[in-house]
Amino acid sequence: MYMKIAKLSLRGKTYSYRSRVPEHLKALYASNGNNPDKVIQISLKTHDPSIALARKKVVDEWIENGGLGGVDAIDFVSPRQHYVEQLALVQQQPVDEVYGIREPIIDPSILDGLQQGLIDPKNVSPEILAGVAASLADTTGQSPANKYKYTLRDALSDYRRLRRGEIQEKTLAAYDRAVALYLDDKTDVALDAIQGPEVALWIDSLKSKTAYATRVDHINRLAKLFTTAVKRGHCKERLNPFENHQMGMPDAKPVQQMSDIELLNILPNLSSDEDRAWAVLARHHGCRMAELAYAEIVTVEDVVCFSIKEIEESEWSPKTDAGTRLVPIRKALIAYAEKYQPSLKNPRDYTKRFGNVKKKLYPDRNRTLVFHSLRHTFTTFAYRAGYNEQQVSWVTGHKDKRGSGESAKRYFHGYSVAYLSKIIESIPALSGYE
């Protein structure tokens, strides 16, 4: 997912503005044939979160001013376009005889963009930057060279631009979360100003809030942003302040498989047939919880399958590219899946319910026995049935499903659903669910 900001939503890969119609605009919306009791929804026509945030402010101002001219009147002028227009104005001005620069004309939006990190100062003309310095002199006493260095948000924005199309949007969103978590209540920070000791203190502050693996992921992403910025010449080369830290102790024990005896003890204590269906289907098919929630039931080559793929309207996609796949449904469970799978919603809520039951029954296995244990159970059964890692990975959606050899990576495009069905059918049935 992406970093949530009020009134911003991500539809596919494009940001939209979404807000309930305020009282003073209901008449306008009614005159346009819209339902005044619903929402304003406007495409911001960008994939970049920083640009989306800037355009959100434009829409907020448009709403505040009464929606003059209708939606079509909203002008999403990019920060770069502001510079182009501003420079044209500056170049028309006479040159100062003493200082040799033109009289600055400073658009407030340019100054705001610089201060908020939405505009990259390296793209600013010397004339405009000099004008910004003059306008700031009375209040800050800082020169542009000190105030507008390459920042952490600059590094994030550039990395997003460089890697967009190469990695999934939800992976890029994870970089957004890491930066937001590091900055906390700060607007931004110069990348050259970040030092190892303060990063170490930040990591310490996370130990009571996040799991070991989560901390490692955050720090690795921040380190990647710094490395990329150095390679592209945006800041001086030095030791990466986000590397070589003590990350604390990893979680005590890894997740273990769930035995059928443990599962059969848990199932009767779950509150509904739908809650039991989550576990039963995961145990027989090796699917992740969210995959079951967002799967569609389809028939391919006469085989009934779970179709696991990105769902744009729900802003969900599989964990990895390999997660997009067809999982044949066990023949004896087709009717069961068709009955209960459509009602499997809100995975996080279910996690709590499942976890509460599991803790009561198995308090000593709090972290080792979880819903995800059922993927371990399925995989273990499949290996015991004689299938290898590559074959099983095409069912479970692990990223190594093409195998390690160059020929497999380049030329192998997967098994038929009929073959994958054989793997599913090889799993021993859970007593009482056949």
Q: Are residues 47 and 106 in the same domain?
A: no
For residue 226, the one-letter residue type is F
Ranges of beta strands (E only) in 325-431 are 325-328
Orientation of helix 169-183 relative to helix 212-231, angle to 10°? 100
Question: Low-confidence residues of the chain, pLDDT below 50?
Answer: 1-3, 36, 79-80, 82-84, 86-87, 90-91, 93-105, 134-148, 405, 407-409, 411
Query: Cα–Cα–Cα angle for 233, 237, 243, nearest 5°?
Result: 115
pLDDT at 81: 52
pLDDT at 189: 87
Q: Are residues 278 and 317 in the same domain?
A: yes
Q: Are residues 29 and 59 in the same domain?
A: yes
The three-state secondary structure class of 106 is coil
Domain boundary residue, one of 73, 93, 123: 73
The Cβ-side half-sphere exposure at 303, using a 13 Å CA radius, reads: 19
> Do the Cβ atoms of 56 and 50 come closer than 8 Å?
no
Q: Are residues 286 and 412 in the same domain?
A: yes
> Do the Cβ atoms of 263 and 283 come closer than 8 Å?
yes
Tokens at 47, concatenated: 């994939």
Q: Are residues 227 and 179 in the same domain?
A: yes
Q: Are residues 191 and 178 in the same domain?
A: yes
Query: Residue 334 sits in a domain of what CATH number?
Result: 1.10.443.10
Query: Rounded to an integer, what distance in angstroms lies between the CA atom of residue 76 and that of residue 55?
Result: 6
Q: Are residues 377 and 323 in the same domain?
A: yes
- Within a domain: residue 96? yes
pLDDT at 145: 39
Under 8 Å CB-to-CB from 234, ≥6 apart: which residues? 122, 150, 154, 155, 158, 191
Of 350, 309, 341, 308, give the one whose Cα is nearest residue 327. 308
- Within a domain: residue 378? yes
Q: Are residues 269 and 410 in the same domain?
A: yes
pLDDT at 408: 47
Range of the domain at 215: 152-231
10 Å CB burial of residue 110 (0-12, 13-18, 19+) is buried
Tokens at 34, concatenated: 């819209």
Domain boundary residue, one of 147, 175, 194: 147
Per-residue pLDDT tens over the stretch 294-308: 899 999 999 999 998
Q: Are residues 135 and 174 in the same domain?
A: no
Q: Are residues 227 and 267 in the same domain?
A: no
Q: Domains in the chain: how many in total?
A: 4
Q: Are residues 345 and 394 in the same domain?
A: yes
Query: Rounded to an integer, what distance in angstroms lies between the CA atom of residue 311 and that of residue 9?
Result: 14
pLDDT at 49: 72
Q: Are residues 69 and 85 in the same domain?
A: no
